[in-house]
Amino acid sequence: MSKENEIQAAASEKSIHTDFTHRMTYGEYLQLDQILSAQKRLSGHHDEMLFIIIHQVTELWMKLILHEIQAAIHSIKNDDLSTAQKRLARVSKTQSQIIQAWDVLSTLTPSEYMEFRDSLGQASGFQSYQYRMVEFALGYKTPHVLKIYEKDEALHQQLHEAYEATSLYDVAIDALARSGLKIDKSVLNRDVTKPYSRNDSVQSAWMEVYKNHSTYWELYELAEKLVDIEDWFQQWRFRHMKTVERIIGFKTGTGGSSGVGYLKKVLDQQFFPELWEIRTHL
């Protein structure tokens, strides 16, 4: 459509609001003045804008992921599995967006990044508190990372609460038990601040769900949503690792981690081990 046609089309829409003297605008609703002024390049380098925006966008998507997972946990606790499935399906779609973000960041070359990397100091994605909260919500609890956030007392308290909260997998296992499937009491009464370890009774319960999915349809669908989330999470981790390797090779990360070496190790972490194991035995 030509510019002239656009103007004519807009002019024909007599009901379009143009006087916002006493009305809220789109930009005000979204607080775009704050969002779009939050990109502060410390080096002044052209490509630092890309680096900042990619990470800010990822943090916004993680905020939505946390919002949906926490809502799903609440729904599962109340045996509203259909609503939980809807929330978790949205999590997976959101994960696909943050995976694709690595494709944009990978346009940053090693030489370009080195020109502003020192401006980051010790700041690193390793310190992302929302990423830690996502891990906590999925059941991977690591107490040593809490020290990173001691600088901010309110944030530190928020992380502690997330660390001590029941995870998505914990409430899913509780739902198995409420449906009449046998789960060891040691699992149902476990310390939820510890990383989850696989359990034979949980594996047997999921096996029963998959073998009789028409009887346990909602639990079966919930299980598949959990597998989707872990699958996408691991794909995000892999793309993260390969993007870092592409840009800095095996240099130490700005936050002091081993960089690619650390990112390769976390690829072996699992959130829902039994849901992967049963595929071999079905």
- Residue labelled with tokens 């704050």: 34
Residues at the binding site are: 51-55, 113, 117, 240, 254
Residues at the binding site for heme are: 240
Rounded to the nearest 10°, the torsion over CA 166, 169, 171, 174 is -120
- Distance from C-alpha of 163 to C-alpha of 148, rounded to nearest angstrom: 14
Token pair of 87, please? 């929330």
- Distance from C-alpha of 161 to C-alpha of 164, rounded to nearest angstrom: 5
Nearest CA-CA partner of 247 in 105, 140, 125, 147: 105
Q: Which residues of 255-268 are buried (b: 16+ CB within 10 A; e: fewer)?
A: beeebbebbeeeee
Cα 1 vs. chain centroid, distance in angstroms?
39
Residues at the binding site for substrate are: 51-55, 113, 117, 254
Distance set, CA 50 to CA 64, 103, 185, 241 (Å)? 21, 12, 50, 18
- Residue labelled with tokens 């459509």: 1
- Distance from C-alpha of 167 to C-alpha of 50, rounded to nearest angstrom: 34
